[in-house]
Chain A
Amino acid sequence: MNTNNYYPQAQEFQKELNSRYRVASIWQSLFLFALLIAVLSLTALMYNVIDGAFGYIAYEYKNDPSEFTSTPVNELTQEELLTILQSNLSSGAYKKLNNEQAMQTRSQADLLNLFLERLVQVDTKQTWTMTESIFQREKILQETASNYPEARIEFRSWLTPQFLVSPMSSRAEFAGVRTAVLGSLWLVGIAIAFALPIGTGAAIYLQEYAPKNWFTSLIQININNLAGVPSIVYGMLGLAVFVRLLEPLTSGSMFGISDANGRTILSAGLTMGILVLPLIIINAQEAIKAVPDSLRQASFGVGATRWQTVWHHVLPNALPGILTGSILALSRALGETAPLIVVGASTFISVDPDGPFSKFTALPIQIYQWTTRAQSEFHAIAASGIVVLLVLLLTLNATAILLRNQFQRKY
């Protein structure tokens, strides 16, 4: 035997083993470090959002509440507020409000907001972040006392139930995300309703029927690339095709709706649908690929046709995976902003979308719009809007995961 070929023994082996362990532990700590950075950046993101959504606010009343009532503001009942509003608002303004929603049916919180907005006329002077509010409380109080001697100061959560159900307003204190949330839900709904059946169908054809040749490979490569195309490009496509070319359809004029143009929720939803289509196709293909071939053979073996095999075995088994793919698609559609701007989302709109042909706004648009405003209170509601968007995202994902588990448990 050649003595040059040997394995290290005893001491020598121990030495090499130690160096192997050393290398291993270096890599392990690198991976841990990577994880820490990831966790840190996520925490920073969450903190940054939360930080903006709560904090001290200094405000002045243009008209003192005592001019309208002797009861302290916080103890006003619905009836009292109604009487105050009725007697102090101009009859035109009152009628207008009543037309939007009958005054008697409005909640106490809603009426209180109207009272503060229209009669007392709250004027926000300055806002502070949560961190500042906690650690620099004294300084804030002093500043406020010297700069705005008239001002009241209170710790305010910008994220309130009122914020969720109020429509857009030009005053940050009274603005809410209701219109934007409804718009986003409509958008995602239309996008999924359009893209899920078409995407799944395309994936089934590609995986189960299409012959493997250069042409299908070309299609496959294109689909993969389309998934990476910047979303603004899809916005341009949506503008050209849905807003302009198919205006009779998307504006609803085909169905007798006359006062709309093509910049509707339907155009935007379809644009989003096309945007997520490649994602859905790719994910559905992966899910279909993961169905074991033995199952297909078992099905063919008992005399099933291709279609019966796909419908009874491949699809039910791929469904959890297809749903997972649609979760990803849904999250993407919910967060996209750029294509909506191109397709023509309204930046200020206070009426709820009531159908596919209405004008619309969406949460990311609303948030973007608020962050571009100069007043700091708008930044605070932008932060609250982000929290709402994140919660919405998590809720939708959780629903999809529950749905997926439901399908998986069948066997």
Chain B
Amino acid sequence: MENNNNHYSIETKDLCILYGGFTAVRNVNIKVEKQKITAIIGPSGCGKSTLLRAFNRMNDFVPNSYVTGEIFLHGQNLYSKQVDPVEARRKIGMVFQKPNPFPKSIYENIAWGARINGFKGKMDELVEQSLRSAALWDEVKDKLHQSAYALSGGQQQRLCIARTIAIQPEIILMDEPASALDPISTLRIEDLMQELKKNYTIIIVTHNMQQAARVSDYTAMMMIDDNRSGGVIEFDETKKIFTRPSDKRTEDYVTGRFG
């Protein structure tokens, strides 16, 4: 890492995300710490996913969308001309709300991303290592060449995590990764996240406040303002957000009085 004394992974400065003329997310200033889990919570439609997708330039694909302000990754603005979005997405992996494995074999699901990014070395080892890291190896080691669609939803989601790990990102973005899963699969994903944070910085969007409280170290609370733009109203350690929030709206939300 270029900047050793900087223990932040991502920093945003006055980040606004706009669709056409509409400001979907306004003035976000947060600092995401390395090798910690940061949760983004808030009611529906407050721009949580939009913010998350700005971190790996997924919003580039939405017509007429653009950002103002800055997102720093190791001190470099993610949206500057020098940064190639494809390269950025390799460093900042993403796990989506609905498990979306490729319609290929389990093995190929992991090998494909590695191959297109020019992976040199033993592919078999990489596949095994990635599946082990995603706590999936023991369940699939005998059927690596079967379709990924034959797996259960929870297994598919862990495969998607394995696929992301395989390209060795620094940051993993998770967009409500457990919302389509049953409680047991959800728990497994949460356990997995605790393992993963030893090596990766994780940012997770979640609807589920208990989940945020269980897994995250930091929490960003988002809320919609009078112009229907979302914004981070409070960003702090998770413990503090859930016990002594400084904003009244956060308190209402986390105690279930609203949202």
Decide if A297 is an interface residue (CB 8 Å cutoff): yes
| B169 CB, nearest partner CB in chain A, Å | 9
Within residues 89 to 111 of chain B, which ones have a CB less than 8 A from any CB in chain A?
89-90, 93-94, 96, 98, 100-104
Of the candidates B93, B98, B149, which one forms a contact with A301 in the assembled complex, judged by CB atoms under 8 Å apart? B93
Interfacial chain B residues near A89, Cβ < 8 Å: none
Docked CA distance A298–B149 (Å): 14
Interfacial chain B residues near A94, Cβ < 8 Å: none
| B158 CB, nearest partner CB in chain A, Å | 14
Decide if A124 is an interface residue (CB 8 Å cutoff): no
Of the candidates A295, A296, A302, which one forms a contact with B113 in the assembled complex, judged by CB atoms under 8 Å apart? A302
How does the 8 Å CB contact mask read for A286-325 relative to B, with 1 for contact and 0 for none?
A: 0000001011111111111100100011000100000000
Q: Are A301 and B58 in contact (CB under 8 A)?
A: yes
Minimal Cβ-Cβ distance residue in A for B89:
A303
Decide if B147 is an interface residue (CB 8 Å cutoff): yes
Decide if B138 is an interface residue (CB 8 Å cutoff): no
Docked CA distance A296–B63 (Å): 15
Q: Are A303 and B87 in contact (CB under 8 A)?
A: yes
Q: Say what secondary structure dominates the interface of chain A.
A: helix
Docked CA distance A294–B89 (Å): 16
Minimal Cβ-Cβ distance residue in B for A211:
B63
| B149 CB, nearest partner CB in chain A, Å | 7
Decide if B253 is an interface residue (CB 8 Å cutoff): no
Q: Are A298 and B160 in contact (CB under 8 A)?
A: yes
How does the 8 Å CB contact mask read for B61-87 relative to A, with 1 for contact and 0 for none?
A: 101000000000000000000000011
Decide if B184 is an interface residue (CB 8 Å cutoff): no
Interfacial chain B residues near A294, Cβ < 8 Å: 96, 98, 100
Q: Are B100 and A303 in contact (CB under 8 A)?
A: no
Docked CA distance A175–B37 (Å): 82
Contact A302-B63, Cβ < 8 Å, known A312-B112, A313-B102, A317-B103: no
Of the candidates A301, A303, A304, A308, which one forms a contact with B96 in the assembled complex, judged by CB atoms under 8 Å apart? A301
Docked CA distance A303–B87 (Å): 7
Q: Are B147 and A301 in contact (CB under 8 A)?
A: no
Decide if A212 is an interface residue (CB 8 Å cutoff): yes
Docked CA distance A411–B145 (Å): 11
Size of B's binding interface in residues, CB under 8 A: 27
Interfacial chain A residues near B58, Cβ < 8 Å: 297, 300-301
How does the 8 Å CB contact mask read for B42-75 relative to A, with 1 for contact and 0 for none?
A: 0000000000000010100101000000000000
Interfacial chain B residues near A305, Cβ < 8 Å: 86
Of the candidates A212, A303, A317, which one forms a contact with B116 in the assembled complex, judged by CB atoms under 8 Å apart? A303
Size of A's binding interface in residues, CB under 8 A: 20
Contact A304-B101, Cβ < 8 Å, known A297-B96, A411-B147: no
Q: Tally A-B pairs: CB < 8 A.
A: 63
Q: Are B102 and A304 in contact (CB under 8 A)?
A: no
Of residues A297, A302, A411, which shows the largest number of chain B Cβ atoms within 10 Å of its Cβ? A302
Docked CA distance A302–B169 (Å): 9
| B49 CB, nearest partner CB in chain A, Å | 12
Decide if B12 is an interface residue (CB 8 Å cutoff): no
Of residues B56, B112, B147, B164, which shows the largest number of chain A Cβ atoms within 10 Å of its Cβ? B112
Docked CA distance A46–B87 (Å): 61
Docked CA distance A75–B47 (Å): 89
Decide if B36 is an interface residue (CB 8 Å cutoff): no
Interfacial chain A residues near B56, Cβ < 8 Å: 301
Minimal Cβ-Cβ distance residue in B for A297:
B96
Of the candidates B61, B87, B116, which one forms a contact with A302 in the assembled complex, judged by CB atoms under 8 Å apart? B116
Interfacial chain A residues near B167, Cβ < 8 Å: 302-303
Q: Are A300 and B61 in contact (CB under 8 A)?
A: yes
Decide if B163 is an interface residue (CB 8 Å cutoff): yes
Q: Are A302 and B104 in contact (CB under 8 A)?
A: no
Docked CA distance A200–B93 (Å): 31
| A286 CB, nearest partner CB in chain B, Å | 19
Decide if B194 is an interface residue (CB 8 Å cutoff): no
Docked CA distance A300–B160 (Å): 13
Minimal Cβ-Cβ distance residue in B for A292:
B100
Contact A302-B96, Cβ < 8 Å, known A317-B103, A411-B103, A411-B104: no
| B245 CB, nearest partner CB in chain A, Å | 33
Docked CA distance A313–B116 (Å): 13
Interfacial chain B residues near A317, Cβ < 8 Å: 103
Contact A295-B100, Cβ < 8 Å, known A302-B113, A303-B116: yes
| B103 CB, nearest partner CB in chain A, Å | 4
Within residues 107 to 152 of chain B, which ones have a CB less than 8 A from any CB in chain A?
112-113, 116-117, 147, 149
Minimal Cβ-Cβ distance residue in B for A411:
B103
A295-B100, A302-B164, A303-B89 given. 16 additional CB < 8 A pairs? A211-B63, A212-B63, A292-B100, A295-B103, A297-B100, A298-B101, A301-B94, A303-B87, A303-B90, A303-B113, A304-B116, A305-B86, A308-B116, A317-B103, A411-B104, A411-B149
B contact residues vs A (CB 8 Å cutoff)? 56, 58, 61, 63, 86-87, 89-90, 93-94, 96, 98, 100-104, 112-113, 116-117, 147, 149, 160, 163-164, 167
| Interface CB pairs A-B, < 8 A, 21 | A212-B63, A294-B98, A295-B102, A297-B58, A297-B96, A298-B96, A298-B102, A301-B89, A302-B90, A302-B93, A302-B163, A303-B86, A303-B90, A303-B117, A304-B86, A304-B116, A305-B86, A308-B116, A312-B116, A317-B103, A411-B104
